[in-house]
Amino acid sequence: MDLCRVCREGTELVIDLGLMPRANATVFCSNCYLFQLTESPKPTELFTAEYPFFTGMSKSMIEHFREFAISEVIETASSSTKVIEIGSNDGTFLKVLHEAGITYLGIDPSESAIKKAKSAGLNCFHGFFDLENINFLQSSFGMADYVIGANVVCHIPDLLDFFEAVSRILKEDGTLIFEEPYLGDMLKLGSYDQIYDEHVFIFSVLAVDKILERTDLELIDIKHQETHGGSMRYIIKRRGVAGKSTQLQEMLKVELELGLDKMETFINFAETCMGKREAFSNLLHFLKSEKKIVVGYGATSKSTTILNFCNVDNSLIKAIGDSTPEKVGKFTPGTQIPIVTHEEVRSLNPDYIVMFAWNHFNEIVIKDKFIRDSGAKVISIVPNISILDKSNV
């Protein structure tokens, strides 16, 4: 039996998604309510010099991070405020701090991301935010008023090491704020594609609150976000500095009502995933038998899970379009579907487009005339496998 990464108690299998190019199964720890992968590659193998995901590819994410920086930091900052962002990627968030004249440091292990941020003139450190580097970071940058992370903490296998590192660099009245894909939304939408090698955990509020009991930090507030198909922002202070907000207390109750502490809930989720696999596979095989041309939109990390779990290769989906130059010319991991530009996808005259970047759909529909106006039909994969009626889009 796999042990929980935090409490080392036994976990229960939720769903085995099969052998993935990297990750495979997920388990649930009913001791600390942590939904987690059984196996995950070392972070040094994932966040490499060629890491190809860049936050700034999405206009709505740029807007989101501007709002995040302003509301959580800039509005209350003084001339001495110091901010650390972990997993700062291409510097989308840092740029807002930079322009506001705030003292900051971005930290990221991916050289490709650091290069982009540095070429934009941003202050960054190339490496991991962990206990190994914390003394260096503390002596070179000093203590922080804010430690911020977005879509990064759920990527860190050793959470206790991470929280200890935060504790060492956070001022006494400092604040840790991070936001990650939210388990409640994943269960509601059946968006099992959130489960892949980089997402070691999918957090609930209950789980974050519980893990922090093992540290000198405490969850004091939460704010739900629409990004990445539903995320949760966690606001954390040193234990005893502030009380828990009313909405946090309410959310803890709601999650218990939803059964986010119970294995049974995850068994139901696994059944939903199986049903969605069958529906997707049946649809694609039917379209193939009808000689339809099917392509994909967005070579997302998430799509790796769907394609491998549902056994979808290039005989079912001809190509996937993506706006990231670093991804174009490559193939989807394990399923070998060519990743091409959106222009190339259009030239294939597709009959159907599978929307893998479903979390950016609102932005895509506005900017992509082809998706909106061509005869090609859009296949939605979240919440249900369905062919969209474009007149309602």
Number of neighbouring beta carbons within 10 Å of residue 23: 23
The partner in contact with residue 299, picked from Zn ion, ligand JHZ, none with C-beta cut-offs of 5 to 8 angstroms by kind, is ligand JHZ
Residue tagged 């828990």 (tokens): 244
What part of residues 111-170 is at the interface with ligand JHZ (CB under 6 A)? Answer: 151
Choose between 6 and 152: whose C-beta lies nearer to Zn ion: 6
**Cα–Cα distance for residue pair 332/324, rounded to 1 Å:** 14
Choose between 31 and 138: whose C-beta lies nearer to Zn ion: 31
Site string for ligand JHZ, 316-335 (x = CB under 6 A): ------xxx--x--------
* CB neighbour list of residue 45: distance below 8 Å, 6 or more residues apart: none
Which DSSP state fits 174?
E
Runs of H (alpha helix) within 215-368: 246-258, 263-289, 301-309, 342-347, 361-367
**14 near Zn ion, judged by CB under 5 A:** no
The partner in contact with residue 301, picked from ligand JHZ, Zn ion, none with C-beta cut-offs of 5 to 8 angstroms by kind, is ligand JHZ
The partner in contact with residue 304, picked from ligand JHZ, Zn ion, none with C-beta cut-offs of 5 to 8 angstroms by kind, is none
**Cα–Cα distance for residue pair 234/205, rounded to 1 Å:** 8
How near is the Cβ of 179 to Zn ion at its closest, in Å? 22
**305 near ligand JHZ, judged by CB under 6 A:** no
What part of residues 23-82 is at the interface with Zn ion (CB under 5 A)? Answer: 29, 31-32
Which DSSP state fits 47?
S
**225 near ligand JHZ, judged by CB under 6 A:** no
What part of residues 234-273 is at the interface with ligand JHZ (CB under 6 A)? Answer: none
Q: Are 99 and 74 in contact (CB under 8 A)?
A: no
What part of residues 345-364 is at the interface with ligand JHZ (CB under 6 A)? Answer: 357, 359-360, 363-364
Residue tagged 């990390």 (tokens): 301
Write the CA distances from 377 to 144, 292, 293, integer angstroms.
Answer: 50, 11, 11
Contact region for Zn ion (CB under 5 A) — 21-29, 119-127, 222-230, 385-393? 21-29
**74 near ligand JHZ, judged by CB under 6 A:** no
Q: Are 324 and 298 in contact (CB under 8 A)?
A: no
User: What does the block give as tokens for 166?
Assistant: 């935060």
How near is the Cβ of 11 to Zn ion at its closest, in Å? 7
In 316-372, where do the E strands start and end? Answer: 320-321, 339-340, 352-355
**57 near ligand JHZ, judged by CB under 6 A:** yes
Which residues of this chain interact with ligand JHZ, rule CB under 6 A?
53, 57-58, 151, 198, 228, 298-302, 322-324, 327, 357, 359-360, 363-364
Q: Contact positions toward Zn ion, by CB under 5 A? A: 4, 6-7, 29, 31-32
